[in-house]
Amino acid sequence: MTHGEIEPQTEQPGVRAAAGPGRWHDVELMAYKNDDSAPFRSVTRQVLFSDPRLGCEWRYFEVAEGGYSTLERHQHVHAVMIHRGRGQCLVGAVISDVAVGDLVFIPPLTWHQFRANAGDVLGFLCLVNADRDRPQLPRPDELATLRQNKAIAQFIDAAA
């Protein structure tokens, strides 16, 4: 969901065991973003695999109850699988309920946002190309256009 701030590194061979729901041994729990200008609430980030030989990075994001990721878009695509909990996602003009195992594809330059349901976390695996552009935030006029769709306005307001 955000441009990687850490350098890709060669992975160690073999197994890193799960260490509880949404946590792994030898995987650092990080801030979702280091950029204060992008609005979000209660999201953590973990980089599961970033070996440059993969061509992509495999990350895990977890949105806590009442939290939401940044509403943004970018040229690079996202391939997502819900890993924990329940929530909703906005992809373009479509809002969907999502639960464990569901797959989500986010095409280039498509506005998207994830949020956890009340009483739930929303944890999701997210693949990105290792070579990718920085996310764009909606300008005021773009937000106004998005808000012309009442369902999207409601989604954005619920997440704000």
Instruction: Give catalytic residue positions.
Output: 126
Least CB distance from residue 23 to a second copy, whole Å? 9
Interaction between residue 146 and a second copy (CB under 8 A): no
Interaction between residue 106 and a second copy (CB under 8 A): yes
Interaction between residue 33 and a second copy (CB under 8 A): no
Interaction between residue 30 and a second copy (CB under 8 A): no
Query: Other CB atoms closer than 10 Å to residue 63's CB: what's the count?
Result: 28
Interaction between residue 128 and a second copy (CB under 8 A): yes
Task: Name which position in 6, 108, 144, 158 contacts a second copy (CB under 8 A).
Answer: 108
Least CB distance from residue 64 to a second copy, whole Å? 19
Alpha carbon of residue 35 to chain centroid: 15
Candidate ranges 31-39, 62-70, 73-81, 148-156; the one touching a second copy (CB under 8 A): 73-81
Residue holding tokens 């949404």? 22
Interaction between residue 144 and a second copy (CB under 8 A): no
Candidate ranges 31-39, 51-59, 113-121, 141-149; the one touching a second copy (CB under 8 A): 51-59
Binding-site size, a second copy (CB under 8 A): 45
C-beta of residue 73 within 8 angstroms of C-beta of residue 41: no
Task: Name which position in 28, 131, 141, 157 contacts a second copy (CB under 8 A).
Answer: 131
Nearest C-alpha neighbor of 125 from the set 85, 73, 97, 158:
85
Going by C-beta distance under 8 Å and a sequence separation of 6 or more, which residues neighbour residue 94?
Answer: none
Cα–Cα distances (Å) from 22 to 28, 33, 47, 59, 63, in that order, read 12, 18, 12, 11, 11
